[in-house]
Amino acid sequence: MTWWTKALRSLISSDEGERLDLFRVFPGTRRFLAARHHYAYLRTAGDVLFVVVVLSGILGPQIPEKNVAVFLSWGVLWPTIVLSWFFVGRMWCGICPFPGLGVFLQRKGWTFSLPIPKVLQKYGVYTSVFLLALIIWIEVVAGLDQSPIGTSFFVLSIVLGAAIFAVLFPGQAWCRHLCPLGRISGAAATLSITEFRPNHEKCRGCTTFACKKGVGDKRGCPVYLGAFNVQNNLHCLVCGHCLPLCDRDSPQLLLRNPYSELVRNKGRYITCSYIVPFLIGSQLARFFRQKPFYSQLESWLGMPDAMSFSLILLVAFIFSLLLIKLGSSMFGINEDPMFGKFSPMVPILIPMAFTGELVYRMTFFAGGIGDFIPTLGRQLGVEIFSPLYFSIPDFPVQILSAFFLLNGSIAGLYIFWRFCLEDFEGIIKFKNFAGINLLVGFFLLSYLAVIF
């Protein structure tokens, strides 16, 4: 069997054994990730872009049409991160510039290396989801995506949070337990076509656990996992730290059916259970805010924009949460004696939730890409770039958005079909089967209604 045939089978097969190890087929990939200086180059490039954004936002003109910091952050960097989730999981977190200051302080020995508090391990997920909600709320009501200096202070606040945690605790505690961008990336990574996993046969008998603890001046896993502990895509940064530390050649980068993890976990991940309804609700609210009817509603409510959007966001979130609970109840079972409670409607809606975020960010990109070079020219005082302006019509963007969302709904129905044929075979009544399909269709129509 040729590698590309096995790659195709890995992507479409529901058999967990049908997975292609990209490290074996393309050994250069493993060498690249194992060589820390390669990651250093990537992180340096990210750091340079980060510094450009921060300095441009603080020192440059405070008009979005004359400052590229806004578009680089919200129109390039954020959509690129969202797109990367579908292909390489949380690999962006491995080169993210935000923990850079904290890592530097730790290397200088400026850290207390305190034990991670139990309360942070247990309740960090709730705090990070709240911070994610706060970021999206501020982005919209404060016009963060139109404020150069606001964008700079936003990214600096995350750097400060990561640095404080680095001074207090070992490794990247911020990234593991509290980072809102890391939390949403972890949830989205469950949908990735790749997964970083150990070969447990090779791990058996290992007594050093070097991939977790590190050896000498080589740092171990920054988020306290180690290759042997990786069971899902929620926390692994795909940073490559474990590769040069493992003397058993255990780590694998596997190509997989992107829905296999969602089918397997059946909605057990607490992270996804909170992020998915909020994302769907916030996306519907954000899209609705861009429609002319929103101004009429705002006038009718007699509230300022911040309060009107907050109300709509709260209603959309609660409505999405209730519909997800309704859909999960239609399965007739939501608890297992082995792994506890689960919400099977959540994995069904994960593809739509994250394609919805991609669509929202893509819309921002399409609206600003035509003015990027002229904006750079205006910021530098070079007006000769003004004729290079162009605009992308709304209609093709809307059609592409509808295509992505349709694929997200089809993916959700595929996951539901797998549930019906496997774990929930013979359990779901026909009327409930029809009801769940209608719920997926209702979410799709809700998206299309606020986009078109």
pLDDT digits (tens, 9 = 90+) for 99-138: 989 999 999 999 999 999 999 998 999 999 999 999 999 9
Cα distance between residue 320 and residue 281, in whole Å:
6
**Do 32 and 72 fall within a single domain?**
yes
Give the separation between CA 87 and CA 299, rounded to whole angstroms: 43
Q: Dig out the tokens for 391 from the structure.
A: 């605009």
Domain identity same for 303 and 405: yes
Residue 411: CB atoms within 10 A of its CB come to 21
One domain for residues 98 and 232: yes
Residue 162 sits in which domain range?
3-261
What is the per-residue pLDDT for 340? 72
What pLDDT score does 1 carry? 64
Q: Which of 261, 284, 311 is the last residue of a domain?
A: 261
In terms of C-beta density within 10 A (0-12 exposed, 13-18 middle, 19 or more buried), how is residue 391 classed? exposed
| Helix (H) or strand (E) segment spanning residue 197 | strand 194-197
Task: Specify the pLDDT at position 258.
Answer: 94
Both 252 and 113 in a single domain?
yes
Helix, strand or coil, per DSSP, at residue 196: strand
Q: If you search the block for the tokens 């999206």, which residue do you land on? A: 136
Indicate if 38 and 136 belong to the same structural domain. Answer: yes
Do 349 and 394 reside in the same domain of the chain? yes
Looking at the fold, whether 76 and 217 belong to one and the same domain comes out as yes
pLDDT at 157: 93
Rounded to whole angstroms, the Cα distance separating 357 from 5 reads 32
CA neighbor of 317 nearest in space, from 341, 353, 348, 342: 353
Same domain? For 361 and 436 the reply is yes
Q: Which residues, listed in sequence order, are joined to residue 253 by a DSSP beta bridge?
A: 196
Number of domains within the chain: 2
386 and 417 part of one domain: yes
- Sorted by sequence, the CB contacts under 8 Å of residue 27 that are 6+ apart come out as none
Last residue of a domain, one of 241, 261, 281: 261
Q: Judge whether 172 and 93 are in contact, CB under 8 Å.
A: no
Q: Beta strand 335-336 with 340-341: parallel, antiparallel or unpaired? A: antiparallel
Q: Tell me the C-alpha distance between 104 and 99, whole Å.
A: 9
**Which residues in the chain show pLDDT less than 70?**
1, 337-339
The letter for the amino acid at 353 is: A
Helix axes 180-189, 345-368, angle to 10 degrees: 120
Same domain? 255 vs 279: no
For residues 339 and 268, give the distance between their C-alpha atoms in angstroms, rounded to a whole number: 8
Is 19 within 8 Å of 69 (Cβ atoms)? Answer: no
How far is it, in rounded angstroms, from Cα 346 to Cα 268?
9
Q: Give the Cα separation of 391 and 369 in Å (integer).
A: 8
**Are residues 217 and 291 both part of a single domain?**
no
Q: Which of 261, 278, 299 is the last residue of a domain?
A: 261
Q: Is 336 helix (H, G, I), strand (E, B) or coil?
A: strand
| Polymer length in residues for the chain | 452
Which value, to the nearest 10 degrees, does the dihedral of the CA atoms of residues 170, 175, 178, 179 take?
150
For the record, the structure tokens of 405 come out as 């969302």
Residues 256 and 284 in one domain: no
